[in-house]
């Protein structure tokens, strides 16, 4: 087992983290920041990364899925403070490319704590992983095995299987994963090439809504372990991502399936690649009302914010549940009974798809007001652009004094 990094390794100069004094909270930090921006006549949007929330999510993971080591999916949100915190907490990292591998290595992550979890890799990225000692990587096809045998013959390969992802919002099995009928041939091919296959992985798809999908996928992975083909010693099961960012509805089913198909005594190491689970609830966006139009009085209000779907709110484009994004006014409404108007809230760009919410009931807003939107950490900033010349929002990381000291003590 490699030694856990110390806080000095992972937080050079506190890395721009705001340590909240005893009285303060993330909400108060947002209040202060808004006052400061108002005093400078700035409408620049900003995000607050609450490290206490990130740490709570990790503690929850440890208590709900104690057998499963998380390898955080960097693609979901690669903000440096997120990566540094998770490294300090001892998670591994799922990287999708040379760029992500290089980013986490530069933060002091050990190569053995990285899985290169992409089944269709550029050869130059495989060579880079090899040179850096990143050995664990996924595959799902013979062509990929050929590339790995040329570029990283000592790799420890994980066979990604396609699973039933019909209960997930983002379905990945149409693009990745070997069908169960092809796994035998793939393992033969790996053996012919002298490659080492150490385990099986799957990804149930993002925003999975059915726990039984996980159970079936774990059973499918077991069936590949049971092929006992060609002397491979499988020792790793990777149950991928797909976990909700809000709660933990599937742990009972997952733990039950693991105990049934991969009992503790089997010695199989179980890992996962959660992205949304860690990132979603840890970020809040503050955006300014930069413009306002009344389509016709009493009918429809239109507001334009300083951030939108080409910026931090990219994931809104995919939402089907319109209740998923719920902007709320930062200033106190004059009165709780204040009248609410049917409103459309747009992002700042000229594109008509830059719409944040439609038919939204909210009190009347004014130019210069600030709206807050919680739970925007997953697949927002990582996909954001500077379309129309609007800059990406700044990110401020905050942590309570107590948590900061607990972290420091626990890592010495």
The residue ranges that bind ligand PLP (CB under 6 A) are 73, 76, 94, 117, 172, 203, 206, 240-243, 273-277
| DSSP code for 314 | G
**Angle, to 10 degrees, between the axis of helix 51-64 and the axis of helix 401-410?**
50
- The C-alpha angle with vertex 157 and arms to 152 and 162, in degrees rounded to 5, equals 130
- Our CB check for ligand PLP shows the closer of 145 and 272 to be 272
Q: Are 61 and 272 in contact (CB under 8 A)?
A: no
Please measure the distance between the N-terminal and C-terminal CA atoms of the chain and give it in whole angstroms: 17
- Our CB check for ligand PLP shows the closer of 129 and 372 to be 129
- Our CB check for ligand PLP shows the closer of 134 and 398 to be 134
Q: What three-state secondary structure class fits 126? A: helix
- Our CB check for ligand PLP shows the closer of 24 and 244 to be 244
- Our CB check for ligand PLP shows the closer of 45 and 274 to be 274
Q: Which residue is nearest to ligand PLP (CB)?
A: 241
Q: Are 92 and 272 in contact (CB under 8 A)?
A: no
Catalytic: 95? no
Contacts of 378 (CB under 8 A, 6+ apart): 76, 77, 245, 275, 276, 279, 280, 315
| DSSP code for 313 | T
- Our CB check for ligand PLP shows the closer of 34 and 101 to be 101
Q: How far is the CB of 172 from ligand PLP (least distance, A)?
A: 6
Q: How far is the CB of 298 from ligand PLP (least distance, A)?
A: 42
DSSP-assigned letters across all residues of 197-258: EEEEE----EEE--HHHHHHHHHHHHHHHTT-GGG----EEE------SS--TTHHHHHHHH
- Neighbouring CB atoms inside 10 A of 12's CB total 11
| CA-wise closest residue to 393 among 384, 401, 406 | 384
Which is the catalytic residue, given 15, 76, 130, 350?
350
Cα(33)–Cα(22) distance, rounded to whole angstroms? 18
Active site residues: 350
């Amino acid at each position: 087992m490699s030694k856990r990094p110390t806080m000095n390794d992972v937080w050079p100069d506190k890395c721009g983290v705001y340590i909240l004094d005893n009285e303060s909270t993330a909400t108060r930090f947002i209040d202060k920041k808004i006052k400061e921006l108002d005093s400078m006549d700035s409408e620049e949007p900003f995000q607050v990364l609450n490290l206490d929330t990130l740490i709570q999510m990790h503690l929850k993971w440890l208590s709900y899925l104690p057998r499963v080591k998380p390898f955080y999916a960097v693609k979901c949100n690669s903000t440096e403070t997120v990566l540094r915190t998770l490294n300090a907490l001892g998670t591994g990292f799922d990287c999708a490319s040379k760029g992500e591998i290089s980013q986490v290595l530069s933060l002091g992550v050990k190569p053995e704590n990285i899985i290169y979890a992409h089944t269709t890799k550029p050869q130059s990225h495989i060579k880079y992983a090899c040179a850096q000692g990143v050995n664990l990587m996924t595959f799902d096809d013979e062509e990929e095995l050929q590339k790995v045998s040329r570029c990283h013959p000592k790799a420890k390969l994980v066979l990604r299987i396609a699973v039933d992802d019909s209960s997930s919002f983002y379905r990945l099995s149409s693009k990745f994963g070997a069908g169960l009928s092809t796994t035998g041939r793939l393992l033969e091919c790996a053996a012919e090439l002298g490659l080492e296959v150490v385990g099986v992985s799957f990804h149930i798809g993002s925003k999975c809504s059915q726990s039984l999908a996980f159970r079936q996928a774990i059973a499918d992975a077991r069936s590949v372990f049971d092929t006992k083909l060609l002397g491979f010693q499988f020792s790793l099961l990777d149950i991928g991502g797909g976990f909700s960012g809000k709660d933990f509805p599937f742990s009972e089913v997952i733990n039950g399936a693991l105990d049934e198909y991969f009992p503790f005594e089997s010695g199989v190491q179980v890992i996962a690649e959660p992205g949304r689970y860690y990132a979603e609830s840890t970020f809040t966006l503050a955006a300014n009302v930069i413009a306002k139009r009344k389509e016709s009085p009493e009918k429809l209000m239109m507001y334009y914010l300083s951030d939108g779907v080409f910026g931090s709110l990219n994931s809104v484009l995919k939402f089907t549940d319109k209740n998923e994004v719920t902007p709320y006014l930062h200033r106190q409404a004059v009165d709780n009974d204040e009248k609410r108007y049917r409103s459309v809230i747009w992002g700042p760009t000229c594109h008509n798809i830059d719409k944040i919410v439609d038919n939204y009931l909210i009190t009347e807003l004014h130019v210069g007001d600030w709206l807050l939107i919680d739970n925007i950490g997953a697949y927002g900033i990582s996909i954001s652009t500077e379309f129309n010349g609007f800059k990406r929002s700044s990110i401020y990381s905050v942590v309570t004094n107590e948590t900061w000291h607990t972290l420091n003590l626990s890592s010495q």
